[in-house]
Amino acid sequence: MGAFIIHGGKPLMGSALISSSKNAILPILSACLLTAEECLIRQIPGLDDVSDMCELISNLGANVKVNGRSRKITVSAQSLTAHTAGYELVSKLRASFLVTGPLLARVGTAKVALPGGCPIGSRPVDLHLKGFEAMGAIIENGHGFIEARCPDKKLHGATIYLDFPSVGATENLLTAAVLAEGRTIIENAASEPEIVDLASFLVKMGAKISGAGTDTITIDGVDKVNGTEHTIMPDRIEAGTFMTAAALTGGDITLKNVVPEHLKPVTAKLRESGMEIIEGNDTIRVKGERRPLALDIKTHPFPGFPTDMQAQLSAYTCFAEGTSVIVETIFENRFMHVNELRRMGAQIRVDGRTAIIEGMETLQGAQVRATDLRAGAALIIAGLAATGTTEVLDIHHIDRGYEFIENKLQRLGADIRRIS
Ligand code: UD1
């Protein structure tokens, strides 16, 4: 399973290249199923989630060629030979559910295992299903699977209001609507940058989409889409994680391949806590000027503070001067890092969706467990700033979403190594 051994107390210094976004590439790989022609995806991040999505789409009949050296993937879904995503992959990779939209659009049927329990909450898929139904699909649920069928030849356009701006539901419905008959309007859509990246890929394929990045997306269905090439956007959560680590360790780092605009909520909070952040065109410099000041943080859909940075900022505020209050509004069970941080001496009280954190001068290194991807990142940040040695267990969660994290941190001067 592996662990990271971290000897804390070294400031991060130097520069690092941010990888492409995990959350952008997963829906884009799935959208390749919409066409029989070849799609070329560039700047792929080497992540376990990406390998799992490649395995899933090749199980469905796509020919997937990964060239790790030149960081490219080609997907050629000439004919789809299956329409089922089984539980083994879906339970590992919740984003597997994103093949439902492209499968329904292309072959009129999709059978996908129910995602099941997820460590950060129940994460239902009701909004995805309501949207497919509005577009004419019939949904059946049984034996652990959701089966969606399109009784008419094609899905038809519809106006769909999402009760919550779900990222996954917006992506699934957007890809389904590309080949539907007529116009689809998604209201209260998610506006995350990853949705914009997906829409720009679909538009290059020949889809007719407007409004991506706002709360109303309009899609005019087309008969077919073509193959295309695309470079994946930078990973704003990886960048935010490194920014937080540098600020907390009193470091001075420059991150390359970032979109500072995507990082505004994180930049604002780090500045509020007393750090200096200098934004370039596609770079960001973070100077850890002082012990952080306490923060109040509430997670929101984009452009609000991202839930995927909540655990990292929780770790950060454990070292702050004063009391911080962190409210998680997106997922109901996203404080699992708290128990692990307490093992390092953190003073945190959780009341429902609120964590109250009494900042300490320092935490002590301890053996801790990564309970999910971002919780794991939070523990690395805490370990880098703590006194003594921290051992982070279950790092397979971290490998799902951070590419070569220990190598990148080592190059910035961190004392971190992987043991198996
Ligand atoms: C995506 C991201 C994840 C991020 C999350 C929120 C990917 C692969 N993952 O996850 O990293 O934390 O957005 O920014 O891009 N919900 C429903 N019904 C639904 C769908 C969602 O109630 O049909 C609820 C969920 O339970 C959750 C909230 O909506 O409480 C947000 O979920 P959603 O935006 O869909 O997140 P994901 O797409 O799963």
- How is 135-181 classified by DSSP, letter by letter? TT-EEEEETTEEEEE-SSSS-B--EEE-SS--HHHHHHHHHHHTTSB
Q: How far is the CA of 303 from the centre of ligand 1 (A)?
A: 15
CA distance 25 to 49: 10
Does the C-beta of 128 come closer than 6 Å to ligand 1? yes
The residue contributing the CA closest to ligand 1 atom 38 is 168
Does the C-beta of 330 come closer than 6 Å to ligand 1? yes
Q: Helices (DSSP H) in 185-344: which residue ranges?
A: 193-204, 236-248, 264-272, 310-317, 336-343
Mean pLDDT of 293-316: 98
92's tokens: 């590992």
Q: For residue 1, what pLDDT band results from cuts at 50, 70 and 90?
A: confident
Q: Would the pTM count as exceeding 0.75?
A: yes
pLDDT at residue 124, rounded to an integer:
87
Edge-first strand listing for the sheet containing 283-287: 13-17, 252-256, 283-287, 276-279
- Taking CA atoms, 109 is separated from 105, 147, 283, 285, in Å, by 8, 7, 44, 48
Dump pLDDT digits (tens) for 371-405.
999 999 999 999 999 999 999 999 999 999 999 99
Sign of CA dihedral 363, 366, 368, 374: positive
Cis bond leading into 303, ω under 30°? yes
Per-residue pLDDT for 116 more than 90?
Answer: no
Per-residue pLDDT for 122 more than 80?
Answer: no
Dump pLDDT digits (tens) for 336-373.
999 999 999 999 999 999 999 999 999 999 999 999 99
- Taking CA atoms, 292 is separated from 80, 252, 317, in Å, by 53, 15, 7
Q: How far is the CA of 191 from the centre of ligand 1 (A)?
A: 13
Mean pLDDT of 92-115: 93
| Catalytic member of 54, 118, 150, 318 | 118
CA distance 248 to 17: 19
- DSSP E strand boundaries for 260-320: 276-279, 283-287, 296-298
47's tokens: 């992540």
For residue 138, list its beta bridge partners.
Answer: 149
pLDDT at residue 254, rounded to an integer:
98
Tell me if residue 32 is catalytic. no
Per-residue pLDDT for 120 more than 90?
Answer: no
Q: How far is the CA of 417 from the centre of ligand 1 (A)?
A: 32
Dump pLDDT digits (tens) for 40-77.
999 999 999 999 999 999 999 999 999 988 899 999 99
132's tokens: 């497919």
Determine contact, residues 205/228, Cβ cutoff 8 Å: yes
pLDDT at residue 289, rounded to an integer:
82
- The lowest-confidence range among 88-92, 157-161, 204-208, 321-325 is 88-92
Does the C-beta of 169 come closer than 6 Å to ligand 1? yes
Q: How far is the CA of 27 from the centre of ligand 1 (A)?
A: 13
